[in-house]
Structure 1
């Protein structure tokens, strides 16, 4: 039985504390072939909604349509997802308008203990229906298409790890591994201008033997806008025509108010004792330092006496000039060349006898 990695589940849980408004925006890409011929479009709309008793859910509507060699095809996803990225309902429709139209619809519903999946296949007038149930305790970390579009936006905004392994449904609607790999920063050219983008590769591994995984590579702006996307092996590439503007969001978390606590430390015996001990410790330390450096008192006394005599208007400038000779980098040391010499005292000429 396949399962999500514990570290990936932990990462998924770490994403739940996000501002829901930060992922509520639309993206539009143009579908084109390798010869740059436009053949369709891909649109994603993300809004906030309620679902029954569940509030602050997210509704995702994604629609891609293209016409290749005169044949119209497309995919539509309508999903309701909780802010924890749990899908509560999704309808995934794929169609190809051939002479005998082919349509596949996968309805996904979350019930109390199980996920219920109803698969409807139509080919011309032939129609088949199949129902599957997956116990929820076996599908932790299940990320379907709608939740995937939200998850990738959050990965861009919230520092994605190099690799994240979740669960999804493969082409047969069987539970399978869903692996996200960081492609790192890349330059994407939009209308002749290179912009910084971050890439994510998503792979869904088929449960059928020897089947290759289905892989998509998507590139996003720094705030999570989808810039380009393509399915590996597909002739269609999707890219935006306009450089998305960075979303501006308000701060919804109010600044916490911490009540000021009146501290009457003088009446607290323990705090008062600590204060007195620390005060005496500092006084003893300062006295010891001054005792070991008696020149401090002499220097300060000289400066104070000079200030009182001179009475300068700018005490800062005066102090700069007064202490300049003591600066090793700027002082003229010749001023102190006789400092260690004895000064001769002249003898008086007047006799006291």
Structure 2
């Protein structure tokens, strides 16, 4: 079996995250550098907009044999009643002809703070199934990790938690992929940035990023200039694990390899102009995401793009974000209406009296009947305002005929 990469999102033909079996004793909570924290808080929504696209790569062995695929999608969404970024990544392939795969779904704030992340990996060996899942979620001021490990018929469940105050500068399986896209949009990896992350044993480790420079890479028979980033997890004082990732100028991932692994993930074809220009599925999501921070700019952008949407039907009921916005607005309106009715109980009495009187008289002209019925209240209120009359008393329906 191929050697397993021992940190973050697992490559096809790998066995997953780092095993905690050879860890050194940790003497205290690690801290991220001020530069790393500052970078995360400096991220602008407009930068995230440039990261909304899909990457699709294939995993190949040293001999050129195709082993599987690797896909990453970034879009805007909602989680826990707030706008956020949703990243979904998955890989599938084989290890010595045994099926394996990994899936990561991460919800992030605009400064890459993790709201929730679901990680799942599996390897199906002959006669034995191995699976591991981990849900990371914010709960009551803590970051809670719920893990389930299955080996054959044996199932092990564990729960760990850390105070959120100790996790400033945290990067996870999913946020790392988005973080590197942001580096590419800025065309620079800032110096002295040290982040914190977790290995498989949920032990804190330091993670750093550095530039590998520019180089030419063959993509589908075309020479493309790519920007390289090295991601390193410092597992112990004398042990580290690195990934080398190369990106096209627009942020698309072109190559990704775990140092020491015989497997390489690479882009087979340059993204077409049609794919780059086909942004309409994310347009409305972008509007809702930016409406409180870039309302004027987004409104202008939306008005410019509106002509492109005239030929594209808008099925808002099928769009999760738009439907969520609709339901939230609907609930807010219902709550507001109910509150107003509680503050003015006379409304129910007034409407109830009118309906009872209407059903008793059964007039042919309902509109004229309603006009006469409610006109008495207008006249009475006018007289009251001029003569400082006592509070309005309920009118007697018989007097309105």
TM-score range, shorter chain: 0.5 to 0.7
Deviations 1:104-132 (A, max 9, x none): 11110112311000121110000101111
State the alpha-carbon separation in 2 of the partners of residues 62 and 146 from structure 1.
7
Higher relative contact order (CA 8 A, sep 6+): 2
Is 1:51 matched up with 2:74? no
Deviations 1:49-74 (A, max 9, x none): 1012212x111110011113211111
Match of 1:153 in 2: 181
| 3-state SS, counterpart of residue 18 of structure 1 | helix
User: Once the 2 structures are TM-superposed, how far is the Cα of residue 213 of structure 1 from its aligned partner?
Assistant: 2.0
Check conservation: 2:189, 2:209, Cα contact below 8 A. no
Structure 1 runs of 4+ with >6 Å offset:
249-252
TM-score normalised according to structure 2 size = 0.59
Deviations 1:187-239 (A, max 9, x none): 111123221100111112225x75x3222111111121111111112221000
State the alpha-carbon separation in 1 of the partners of residues 62 and 118 from structure 2.
30
State the alpha-carbon separation in 2 of the partners of residues 64 and 213 from structure 1.
23
User: Once the 2 structures are TM-superposed, how far is the Cα of residue 163 of structure 1 from its aligned partner?
Assistant: 4.9
State the alpha-carbon separation in 1 of the partners of residues 148 and 129 from structure 2.
14
| 3-state SS, counterpart of residue 94 of structure 1 | strand
Structure 2 counterparts to residues 131-280 of structure 1, below 5 A: 131-158=159-186, 159-206=188-235, 212-245=239-272, 247=276, 254=296
Match of 2:149 among 101, 115, 121: 121
CA 1:21/1:189 → structure 2, altered by over 3 Å: closer, same or farther? same
Match of 2:111 in 1: 84
State the alpha-carbon separation in 2 of the partners of residues 109 and 28 from structure 1.
27
Kindly indicate which of the two structures has a greater share of residues assigned to helix.
Answer: 2
Deviations 1:299-347 (A, max 9, x none): xxxxxxxxxxxxxxxxxxxxxxxxxxxxxxxxxxxxxxxxxxxxxxxxx
Check conservation: 2:59, 2:69, Cα contact below 8 A. yes
Check conservation: 2:102, 2:122, Cα contact below 8 A. yes
Is 1:10 matched up with 2:10? no
Q: Which moved more, 1:233-242 or 1:65-74?
A: 65-74
Match of 2:120 among 93, 111, 118: 93
Paired positions, count: 253
TM-score normalised according to structure 1 size = 0.67
User: Once the 2 structures are TM-superposed, how far is the Cα of residue 19 of structure 1 from its aligned partner?
Assistant: 4.2
State the alpha-carbon separation in 2 of the partners of residues 11 and 51 from structure 1.
23
Match of 2:301 in 1: none
| 3-state SS, counterpart of residue 186 of structure 1 | strand
Check conservation: 1:171, 1:206, Cα contact below 8 A. no
**Which is higher, the Rg of structure 1 or of structure 2?**
1
Is 1:61 matched up with 2:85? no
Unpaired stretches in structure 1, ≥5 consecutive residues: 257-353
CA 1:255/1:80 → structure 2, altered by over 3 Å: closer, same or farther? closer
State the alpha-carbon separation in 2 of the partners of residues 163 and 156 from structure 1.
17
User: Once the 2 structures are TM-superposed, how far is the Cα of residue 15 of structure 1 from its aligned partner?
Assistant: 1.9
User: Once the 2 structures are TM-superposed, how far is the Cα of residue 245 of structure 1 from its aligned partner?
Assistant: 4.3
| 3-state SS, counterpart of residue 206 of structure 1 | strand
Check conservation: 1:170, 1:205, Cα contact below 8 A. no
Is 1:20 matched up with 2:48? yes
Unpaired stretches in structure 2, ≥5 consecutive residues: 1-28, 288-293, 299-401
| 3-state SS, counterpart of residue 213 of structure 1 | strand
CA 1:242/1:149 → structure 2, altered by over 3 Å: closer, same or farther? same
Q: Aligned-residue CA RMSD in angstroms?
A: 2.2
Check conservation: 1:162, 1:182, Cα contact below 8 A. no
Q: Which moved more, 1:24-33 or 1:242-251?
A: 242-251
